[in-house]
Structure 1
Amino acid sequence: MQSSLSAFDLARLQFAFTVSFHIVFPALSIGLASFIAVLEACWLKTRKPFYKDLCLFWSKIFAVAFGMGVVSGVVMSYQFGTNWSGFSSFAGPVTGPLLMYEVMTAFFLEAGFLGIMLFGWNRVSPRAHFGATLMVAIGTLISTFWILASNSWMQTPQGFKVVDGHVVPTDWFQIIFNPSFPYRLAHMAIAAFIVAALVVAATGAWHLLEGRRDAAVKKMFAMALGLLLVLAPLQAIVGDAHGLNTREYQPAKIAAIEGIWDTEQGGTALNLFGLPDMEAQTTRYAVKIPHLGSLILTHSWDGEIRGLKSFPAEERPNSTLLFWTFRVMVGLGILMIVLGIAGWWLRRRGTLYESRAFQRFALAMGPTGFVTLLAGWITTEAGRQPWVVYGVMRTAQAVSPLTAQQVSVSLMTFVVVYFLVFGTGIYYMLKLMRTGPALPAAPIVPATRIANQPTNQPANQPARRPTHAADQLIDA
Structure 2
Amino acid sequence: MPDAETALLLARLQFAFTVSFHFIFPAFSIGLASYLAVLEGLWLKTGKTVYLTLFKYWLKIFAIAFAMGVVSGIVMSYQFGTNWSVFSDKAGPIIGPLMAYEVLTAFFLEAGFLGVMLFGLERVGKKLHFLATLMVAAGTAMSAFWILSVNSWMQTPSGWAVNAAGQFVPAGSWIDIIFNPSFPYRLVHTVIAAYLTTALVVGGVGAWHLLKARRGRATSAAGSGASAAAGSPDPAGRDQGARTMFSMAMWMAALVAPVQIFVGDLHGLNTYEHQPIKVLAMEGHFEASPDGAPLILFGIPDDDAETIHAAVKIPKLSSLILEHDPDAPMPGLKMVPKEDRPPVGIVFWSFRVMVGLGFLMLALGLWSVWARMRGRLYEWPLLHRFAILMGPAGFVAVIAGWITTEVGRQPWVIYHLLRTRDAVSPIATPGVTGSLIAFVIVYFTVFAAGTIYILKLMAKPPREGEPAPAKAPIRTAGITPASSMSRSGIEPRPDRAEGAE
TM-score above 0.5: yes
The match for 2:190 among 180, 185, 188 is 188
Matched, 1:327 2:329: no
Per-residue deviation at 1:305? 2.2
1:394 to 419, 437, 440: 419
Superposed CA deviations along residues 86-120 of structure 1, whole A, max 9, x for unmatched, are 10000011111101000000000001000111110
State the SS of the aligned residue for 2:213.
coil
How big is each residue's C-alpha offset from its partner over 1:285-336, in whole Å with a ceiling of 9 and x where there is no partner? 1111111011112222222222101111100011111111000111111100
Closer/same/farther in 2, CA of residues 305 and 29 from structure 1, 3 Å limit: same
| Higher alpha-carbon deviation: 395-404 or 296-305 | 296-305
Measured in 1, the distance between the counterparts of 2:212 and 2:111 equals: 36
Which of 276, 280, 290 lines up with 1:265 in the alignment?
Answer: 290
Q: In the alignment, which of 360, 365, 379 is matched to residue 340 of structure 1?
A: 365
- 2:119 corresponds in structure 1 to 119
Aligned to 2:387: 362
SS of 2:111 mapped into structure 1: helix
- Contact 2:83-2:424 at 8 Å conserved across structures: yes
Q: For residue 476 of structure 2, what is the aligned residue in structure 1?
A: none
* Residue 181 of structure 2: aligned partner: 179
Ranges in structure 2 where 5+ consecutive residues have no aligned partner: 215-237, 467-501
Aligned counterpart, 1:9: 9
Query: What code does the residue aligned with 1:188 have?
Result: T
Aligned CA RMSD, in angstroms, stands at 1.4
Rounded Cα–Cα distance in structure 1 between residues aligned with 2:343 and 2:418: 18
Question: Following TM superposition, where does structure 1 have runs of at least 4 consecutive aligned residues deviating by more than 6 angstroms?
Answer: 2-5
Match of 1:209 in 2: 211
Mark the CA change 1:382 to 1:269 in structure 2 (over 3 Å): closer, same or farther. same
TM-score by length of 1: 0.91
Q: Report the residue type matching 2:149 in the other structure.
A: A
Pick one of 306, 321, 330 that aligns with 1:281: 306
* One-letter amino acid matched to 1:392: L
Does structure 2 retain, via aligned residues, the 8 Å contact 1:50–1:440? Answer: no
- Residue 32 (structure 1) aligned with residue 32 (structure 2): yes
Aligned to 1:239: 264
Q: Which residue of 2 aligns with 1:153?
A: 153
* Matched letter for residue 251 of structure 2: G
- What secondary structure is seen at the aligned counterpart in 2 of 1:211? helix
2:470 counterpart residue number = none
Structure 2 CA distance for aligned equivalents of residues 300 and 62 of structure 1? 46
What whole-Å deviation, never above 9, does each CA across 1:25-44 have from its counterpart, x for those lacking one? 01100000000000000000
Matches of 1:113 and 1:260, distance apart in 2? 50
Q: Partner letter of residue 111 of structure 1?
A: A
- Deviations along 1:117-168, one digit per CA (max 9) or x if unpaired, are 1110111111111000000000000001000000000000010101121011
Distance 1:269 1:423 in 2: 43
Offset at residue 223 of structure 1 (A):
0.1
Counterpart in the other structure of 2:169: 168
- Structure 1: how far apart are the matches of 2:309 and 2:403? 22
Contact 1:148 1:181 in 2 (8 A): yes
337, 348, 371: which one aligns with 1:312: 337
In structure 2, distance between residues paired with 1:298 and 1:26 = 34
Query: Partner of 2:139 in structure 1?
Result: 139
Structure 1 residues 366-395: Cα deviation after superposition (integer angstroms, max 9, x where no partner): 011000010000000000000000010000
Is 1:418 aligned to 2:443, yes or no? Answer: yes
Q: Which amino acid aligns with 1:174?
A: D
After TM superposition, give the deviation of residue 440 of structure 1 in Å: 6.5
Moved more, 212-221 or 325-334: 212-221
Q: Distance in 1 between matches of 2:433 and 2:329?
A: 44
Residue identity over aligned pairs, in percent, reads 59
Alpha-carbon distance between aligned partners in 2 of 1:17 and 1:5, rounded to the nearest angstrom: 18
Corresponding letter in the other structure for 2:348: F
| SS of equivalent to 1:210 | helix
Scaled by the length of structure 2, what TM-score is found?
A: 0.86
Rounded to whole Å, the distance in 2 between the matches of 1:40 and 1:440 is 15
Question: How many Å apart are 1:174 and its aligned residue?
Answer: 0.4
* Kept in 2: contact 1:8–1:399 (CA 8 A): yes
Find the aligned partners of 2:94 and 2:73 in 1 and give their Cα distance. Answer: 19
Q: Does 2:421 align with 1:433?
A: no
Question: How many Å separate the matches in 2 of 1:303 and 1:127?
Answer: 57
Q: Distance in 1 between matches of 2:265 and 2:176?
A: 23
Following the alignment from structure 2 to structure 1, what is the Cα–Cα distance between the partners of residues 464 and 212?
14
Contact 2:347/2:404 (<8 A) preserved: yes
**Maintained 8 Å contact 1:18/1:72:** yes
In the alignment, is the contact (CA less than 8 A) between 2:320 and 2:326 conserved in 1?
yes
Contact 1:207–1:217 (8 Å) recurs in 2:
yes
In the TM superposition, what whole-angstrom CA distance separates every residue of 1:248-296 from its partner, at most 9, and x where no partner exists?
Answer: 1111001111110111112111111111110011111111111101111
Partners in 2 of 1:90 and 1:284 — Cα distance? Answer: 41
How far apart, CA to CA, are the structure 1 residues paired with 2:178 and 2:331? 29
Q: What pairs with 1:450-461 in structure 2 (closer than 5 Å)?
A: none
Give the match's secondary structure for 1:6: helix
Displacement of 1:197 in angstroms is: 0.3
Contact 2:196 2:394 in 1 (8 A): yes
